[in-house]
Amino acid sequence: MPQLKVHTHLETQLGRAAVRMFAANDRMNQILIEHLDPTAWTAKPPGRGRTIAAIFTHMHNVRTKWVRLTAPRLKVPRQLHRTRCTPKQARAGLAESAARCAEMLAEALGGGQGRVEKFLRDGWARPWPVGVEMLCYMLSHEAHHRGQVCMLAHQLGFPLPVKVTSGLWNWEKLWKECGSPGPGYYS
């Protein structure tokens, strides 16, 4: 019996940490949109790539898919249109989808609720058991697209200030902005 108690305690810690990490992750997206030159939002990228607007709407829409497939009992935010979405709409949509993803992560990794038993990335992908891999996949997907946004803004002639891009690595500040005490606090 003590093993089960320790296991549940660790899951609860992981669930809370996952929620804080995803909140910091979304704060990074919000910071980029806040500091992005509005002209860059729909500027045509070189080649056949996505606009910055399309990248952020893709991030939001994928989150809605994760929630719809993995935790269908949660309210699924409406999708955003890749060509008609404004920065303000993207910020609001991302905030809402981040909240649903945080709920999903808390249920999946929070110890004992059992409501989320598997992570479905897409309809074509095999389900994964819930675990830290789920969180890592979600964070990696978003980090990849943030890198695209930073590079594309630079290529389009609208580079983000160094203070902004280097601030994406200041997790202590990001956690505080999200109301979290920071790493290692599990209460």
In the numeric block, which tokens belong to residue 10? Answer: 């660790």
- What angle in degrees, to the nearest 10, is found between the helix axes of 132-155 and 87-109? 160
Domain assignment of residue 72, yes or no: yes
User: At which residue do the structure tokens 């719809």 appear?
Assistant: 68
Q: Is 41's pLDDT higher than 60? A: yes
Domain assignment of residue 149, yes or no: yes
CATH number of 162's domain: 1.20.120.450
Percentage above 90 pLDDT, the chain = 71
Question: Residue 170: CA atoms inside 13 Å, Cβ hemisphere, count?
Answer: 12
Q: Is 5's pLDDT higher than 50? A: no
Q: Is 115's pLDDT higher than 90? A: no
Residue 22 burial by CB count (10 A; 0-12/13-18/19+): exposed, middle or buried? buried
Q: Is 149's pLDDT higher than 90? A: yes
Domain assignment of residue 163, yes or no: yes
Q: Is 60's pLDDT higher than 70? A: yes
Report yes or no: 51 and 148 within 8 Å, Cβ to Cβ. no
Question: C-alpha 104: how far from its chain's center?
Answer: 12
Domain assignment of residue 186, yes or no: no
Domain assignment of residue 180, yes or no: no
Residue 7: count other Cβ atoms within 10 Å of its Cβ.
12
pLDDT tens profile 64-96? 999 999 999 999 999 999 999 999 999 999 999
Domain that holds residue 91: 2-170
User: At which residue do the structure tokens 């996952």 appear?
Assistant: 18
Domain assignment of residue 146, yes or no: yes
Residue ranges of alpha helices (H) inside the chain are 2-35, 52-70, 87-109, 132-155, 162-167, 171-177
Strand partners, 129: 118
Q: Is 21's pLDDT higher than 50? A: yes
Confidence (pLDDT) at 111: 63
Cα(102)–Cα(104) distance, rounded to whole angstroms? Answer: 5
Cα(132)–Cα(20) distance, rounded to whole angstroms? Answer: 14
Domain assignment of residue 81, yes or no: yes
pLDDT tens profile 130-145? 888 999 999 999 999 9
How many structural domains compose the chain?
1
Phi–psi pair at 80, nearest 5 degrees: -105, 150
Domain assignment of residue 184, yes or no: no
SS3 119: strand
